[in-house]
């Protein structure tokens, strides 16, 4: 697989590499090293992570997105990422997602507006979580705290639970 990907990407011209791309990882086949390699090869703006258990490697990818790959100069994995969609909603998975969003938002706030205009990391525009609608609309939703914390940490990103946009309370979520 590695050789095939290397061959494909070696035949892309710079214009093709600069086009926005979507990337999807499904279950335990996801290898975090592909993420670091693709970070330097493609302009990934949308990432979809689908997990089948808490024991597959999707959580490793979320952890990798929580910190720079290189500190000087600062290089983050998928620096152009604006949209993420995942079904990782176990308690541990929720904490990893929130940790990643907070780490990236904290860096963005600290980087300010660079003089040359080059931004090391883009802010999220959209975060989509997948689960059951009952979880959002139930009177004792298990995910309300997470949705509120994500909304605060992501600073302006749209937060979605399935097909419902989170607007800050159980009663105000809308389709």
pLDDT digits (tens, 9 = 90+) for 48-104: 988 876 667 788 888 889 988 877 777 888 999 999 999 877 788 889 999 999 999
Query: Taking 80 as the threshold, does the pLDDT of residue 174 lie above it?
Result: no
Helix (H, G, I), strand (E, B) or coil at 173: coil
For 143, the token pair is 């995910």
Identify the weakest region by mean pLDDT among 33-37, 148-152, 155-159.
Answer: 33-37
112: left (phi over 0), alpha (psi -120 to 50) or beta: left
Query: Is-contact 81 109, C-beta < 8 A?
Result: no
Share of the chain above pLDDT 70, in %: 79
The larger pLDDT score, comparing residue 73 to residue 125, is at 125
pLDDT at position 31 over 90: no
Local structure of 122: helix, strand or coil: coil
Looking from the CA of 126 toward its CB, the CA atoms found within 13 Å total 15
Strand 43-50 vs strand 83-86: parallel, antiparallel, or unpaired? parallel
Residues constituting the chain: 175
pLDDT-derived band at 7 (thresholds 50, 70, 90) equals confident
What is the pLDDT, as a whole number, of residue 51?
80
């Amino acid at each position: 697989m590695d050789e095939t990907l290397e061959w494909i990407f070696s035949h892309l011209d710079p214009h093709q590499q600069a086009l926005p791309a979507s990337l999807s990882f499904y279950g335990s086949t996801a290898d975090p090293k592909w993420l670091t390699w693709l970070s330097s090869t493609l302009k990934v703006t949308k990432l979809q992570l689908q997990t089948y258990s808490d024991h597959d490697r999707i959580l490793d990818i979320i952890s990798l997105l929580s910190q720079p790959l290189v500190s000087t100069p600062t290089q983050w994995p998928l620096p152009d990422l604006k949209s993420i969609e995942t079904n990782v909603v176990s308690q541990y998975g929720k904490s990893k997602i929130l940790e990643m969003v907070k780490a990236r938002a904290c860096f963005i706030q600290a980087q300010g507006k660079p003089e040359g205009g080059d931004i090391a990391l883009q802010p999220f525009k959209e975060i989509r979580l997948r689960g059951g609608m009952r979880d959002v609309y139930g009177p004792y939703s298990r995910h309300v705290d997470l949705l509120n914390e994500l909304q605060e940490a992501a600073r302006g990103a749209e937060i979605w639970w399935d097909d419902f946009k989170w607007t800050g309370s159980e009663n105000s979520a809308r389709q």
